[in-house]
Structure 1
Amino acid sequence: MPVVAAPAPTPSVPAGADFDALARQDPEIAAVVRDEARREADGLQLIAAENFTSRAVLAALGSPLANKYAEGYPGARHHGGCDVVDGAERIAVDRAKGLFGAEHANVQPHSGSAAVLAAYAALLKPGDALLAMGLPSGGHLTHGSPVNFSGRWFDVVGYGVDAESGLIDYEQVYALARTHRPRAIVVGSISYPRHPDYAAFRAIADDVGAYLLADAAHPIGLVAGGAAPNPVPYADVVCATTHKVLRGPRGGMLLCGGELAERIDRAVFPFTQGGAQMHTIAAKAVAFGEAARPAFTAYAHQVVSNARVLADGLAAEGFVVPTGGTDTHLITVDPSPLGLDGREARARLAAAGVVLDTCALPYGDGRGLRLGTAAVTTQGMGEAEMARVAALFAQALRGERNAATEVRELARRFPPYAG
């Protein structure tokens, strides 16, 4: 007997401002917002870089602070009328410093890439040598891609991972550092699922006289929840995003010691950015406050537990899981044992309502899949649901027609914004 899907419920639209006003004023955009709310509620959102913010974060994003132009820093703005919004930035900075144990924080970067750009601007000159994880091993575009400013402005050397274990080859990193004498070494990745050894990178950087820059865009939320090592004591500068596991608004931040504070601030404004987005900074402050609570600590550890169960389940279904698992929210898998490359597998999963990304695999010509458990954990899913998700992966890739229905039914049991 065919399975009949339950009628789709009306999704809750957690707008920061008056959604009814939007619907009256611009029904076309209101329809887009409703459709996106439905898409998020009806599928499994497993993109590793995404999460669901709280209603409080959304409220700050949709607040009157969006109206204020605020070039400069608190107490030294280039526009009048900033006395009130200065308070939001001071709160955000103080909360970020307390959350991560940093002497200085800059919360103005508009994105993670903007934070990395500012860090490079503060520490490097065009033409300097830069050592970072190679893109095939999981490095980011800002770590030396030829289509990115980093690959055009700097002499970038990429380090990789061991062919058998999939883990960072620290002997190779040390050898490359001694050979190329980089001005800075970057530790961080968009698809490396294990904790880096920050102390080892610090020792290598000290040996060759390099700055150590940690791109912690992915693990910084786990750091906030005590579920990952903190790079702040080891790195000269830490670049991060405020979304992903940290569950704040889309944006970036920089953490550093007091001796680099002025250089970092001037690299953000006026060198790489103009006016600060005060509504986003206020939303960052809300997220930092949420991340300091015990509930967030429990959440961060649940994210990791869920990722480990999901990785084990995918391995049992026949996927190859590089490094044998994960320490973080990130999982990378090779679907080739199932007769699929990453792009075809992603398309089949998307048709079933499972949303994720492809990624480079360190060895071989194919692409793998990259997924994360931050969003589904925010929805309230636990280990039992992760075991079910692994089974649904296999069902979708085998082309079973009921996979999409079962994905939808599971997702609807855990609405991102209930009520």
Structure 2
Amino acid sequence: MTVTHSPAIDVQPWPADFEALQRQDPQLADVLAGETERVSTTLQLGAAENFSSPAVLAALGSALANKYAEGYPGARHHGGCGYADLAEEIAVQRAAALFGTEHANVQPHSGSSAVLAAYAALLRPGDTVLAMGLGVGGHLTHGSPANFSGRWFEFVGYGVEAESGLVDYAQVRELADRHRPKAIVCGAISYPRHLDYAAFREVADECGAYLIADAAHPIGLVAGGAAPSPVPYADLVCATTHKVLRGPRGGMILCGAELAERVDRAVFPFTQGGAQMHTIAAKAVAFGEAAGPAFTGYAHRTVANARALAEGLAEEGLSVITGGTDTHLIVADPAPLGIDTATARGRLAAAGLVLETCGLPYGTERGLRLGTAALSTQGMGRPEMSRIAGLCAAALREEPGVRQAVRELAGDFPPYPG
């Protein structure tokens, strides 16, 4: 199907109409207005969040939000899917080109949904899986007993070196040789360094395991050429489409042609129903944006900002795990300042510095997880990172005036100018 638009037919894309929402449901309109004010007057230091472009948001609020389209292009269970098919085909083509892969499934509703489908494509209940331990940076889908992964599969966790905080690749090899897992997962939610995908591939080949890369955090940096790609090494790559990639909240799976059918069946009909077509259209927009030179500059600036922020936090007395970062993500321990992480997060939040907590390697306490994706989208650079590090330290010391300073800085770099 070819998209054509006749100038004789006055049809406009369906924009989000906030004024209509205010008239019809002022209570929810107030909620959305409040959230807009919140992100405009605070600094988003969460490693998992970003600001999508107006074009991505327009696709999310489009007419495709109404379309039911179970199945895949050309094989839907519902009628009227011509434009839905086109949207998904564009998203798949752009994702495959962007990441240099033979196949992309863009239907997963989240990163966790993508991991679930990856396991469904390659494993059976009871299989052994080797993944990063939850206490040192692994995700819930890497074997948490509260998650489907820990209930359906036998997970073995590898760790990091006690002094450096870096992945212990010798331990990975030893555990793989001892347990002979069906799959090895390389990926984390609070590991600030690049992973050695070639080393993981070598270990997987030695024990006959599949290699699954959970690249939810670094995939946007991969798109911008600011991080190594897992695609040449992993059998399946699971990722999110938000975070650094700046798309809508959602997931995707990248793989070679030989596993494409198994992946597609695992997503639909095994783990999901109807695709969210408005989200898929928004993913297509984000993939298109990420293919441009502006995004390449953004990705590298995000890493440079993270390194600058890590340096600033260390100068302020916080302990920065692994001594720095290769990515957009920083893990810091406020203990040297005499503050526990829960107290630190509360003081930072009160000052308008919004971030997350995570486990610390081999520690009983939790640490602070920060990221620079959103700040970089707002146009901030090294001077602002130094200032933010100082604001964090001042907030932890409960100095006066920090909240106003944060408000002023946020106002100088609005996420959506005008």
Fold in common (TM above 0.5): yes
CA contact (8 A) 1:136 1:362 kept: yes
Q: Deviations over 1:323-380 (max 9, x none)?
A: 1100000000010001111111000000000000011001221110001000010001
Aligned to 2:392, what secondary structure does the other structure show?
A: helix
User: How far apart are 1:16 and its partner, in Å?
Assistant: 5.2
Tell me the amino acid that sits aligned with residue 385 of structure 2: M
1:236-385 to structure 2, matched below 5 A, reads 236-385=235-384
1:221 matched to 2:220:
yes
User: How far apart are 1:61 and its partner, in Å?
Assistant: 0.2
User: How far apart are 1:142 and its partner, in Å?
Assistant: 0.1
CA contact (8 A) 1:16 1:58 kept: no
User: How far apart are 1:401 and its partner, in Å?
Assistant: 1.5
Aligned to 2:204, what secondary structure does the other structure show?
A: helix
Q: Distance in 2 between matches of 1:188 and 1:363?
A: 18
Return structure 1 stretches of 4+ with deviation > 4 angstroms.
Answer: none
Aligned to 1:31: 30
Per mean C-alpha deviation after superposition, the further-off stretch among 16-25 and 129-138 is 16-25
CA contact (8 A) 1:57 1:249 kept: yes
Aligned to 1:70, what secondary structure does the other structure show?
A: coil
Aligned to 1:128: 127
Q: Deviations over 1:283-309 (max 9, x none)?
A: 000000000000000000000000000
User: How far apart are 1:396 and its partner, in Å?
Assistant: 0.2
User: How far apart are 1:83 and its partner, in Å?
Assistant: 1.1
Q: Deviations over 1:185-207 (max 9, x none)?
A: 00000000000000000000000
Aligned to 2:152: 153
CA contact (8 A) 1:202 1:234 kept: yes
Q: Distance in 1 between matches of 2:137 and 2:339?
A: 21
Q: Deviations over 1:40-77 (max 9, x none)?
A: 00001011000000000000000000010000000000
1:200 matched to 2:199:
yes
1:379-418 to structure 2, matched below 5 A, reads 379-418=378-417
Aligned to 2:156, what secondary structure does the other structure show?
A: strand
Unaligned 5+ runs, structure 2 = 1-13
User: How far apart are 1:220 and its partner, in Å?
Assistant: 0.2
Aligned to 1:72: 71
User: How far apart are 1:155 and its partner, in Å?
Assistant: 0.4
Unaligned 5+ runs, structure 1 = 1-14
Q: Distance in 2 between matches of 1:363 and 1:264?
A: 35
Tell me the amino acid that sits aligned with residue 169 of structure 1: D
How many positions carry a matched residue from both structures?
A: 405
Q: Deviations over 1:57-114 (max 9, x none)?
A: 0000000000100000000001111011100000000000000000000000000000
Q: Distance in 2 between matches of 1:234 and 1:278?
A: 30
Aligned to 1:7: none
Q: Distance in 2 between matches of 1:348 and 1:197?
A: 36
- Taking every aligned residue pair, what percent have the same amino acid on both sides? 75
Root mean square deviation of aligned Cα: 0.7
Aligned to 1:6: none
Per mean C-alpha deviation after superposition, the further-off stretch among 358-367 and 124-133 is 358-367
Tell me the amino acid that sits aligned with residue 204 of structure 2: A
Q: Distance in 2 between matches of 1:378 and 1:41?
A: 13
Tell me the amino acid that sits aligned with residue 273 of structure 2: G
CA contact (8 A) 1:104 1:261 kept: yes
Aligned to 2:183: 184
Q: Distance in 1 between matches of 2:83 and 2:409?
A: 44
Aligned to 1:168, what secondary structure does the other structure show?
A: coil
Tell me the amino acid that sits aligned with residue 123 of structure 1: L
Q: Distance in 2 between matches of 1:16 and 1:61?
A: 9
Q: Deviations over 1:239-268 (max 9, x none)?
A: 000000000000000000000000000000
Aligned to 1:90: 89
Aligned to 1:170: 169
Q: Distance in 1 between matches of 2:123 and 2:340?
A: 39
User: How far apart are 1:276 and its partner, in Å?
Assistant: 0.3
Q: Distance in 2 between matches of 1:161 and 1:349?
A: 28
TM-score for the superposition, normalised by structure 2: 0.96
